[in-house]
Copies of this chain bind each other. A is one copy, B any other.
Amino acid sequence: MKIGELSRATGTNIETIRYYERIGLLPAPGRTAANYRSYGNAHRSRLSFVRHSRELGFTIEEIRSLLDLSDDPARDCGEADRIATAHLEQVEAKIAQLARLRDELKRIVGRCRGGAAADCRVIEALGDHRHCESAH
């Protein structure tokens, strides 16, 4: 299939597909007589793997490691688990951090009673870190 078809099949931007090839995440496919890229099912699977991993927030480098693992079926799969577990921990840390921000923002918004900016509690709270209850 040509790049446009692969794009539609995987919901991936054409430019993104070429980008993945350029950084070595996808192998360079064969070419037609007109120098068009020509993909097969292996390419589509690999791209789906990449896109799904990206949607789950894995970085390109993490995905590279995961692809290396899946390319070598004899290798120990514990590393895949470690990568995924480490990523899960990062996601949980990010959620906790955002929850603290949310609480701080909640305290800040809604305090404005529609006066002039000179008396604005929102701007005041943003200017002075000491108003905060938790670290961020």
Contacts and interface: CB of A to CB of B under 8 A. Distances in A.
A129 B52 contact: yes
Interface in A67-92: 69-70, 72-78, 80-81, 84-85, 87-88, 91-92
B123 A78 contact: no
Contacts of A78: 112, 114
A60 interface: no
Interface residues of A, number: 53
B69 A120 contact: yes
Interface stretch (A1-9, A13-21, A24-32, A93-101): A93-101
Contacts of A45: 127
A84 B66 contact: no
Contacts of A57: 98, 101
Contacts of A129: 48, 52
Q: Which 4 A-B pairs have the closest CB atoms?
A: A73-B118, A77-B120, A81-B112, A80-B122
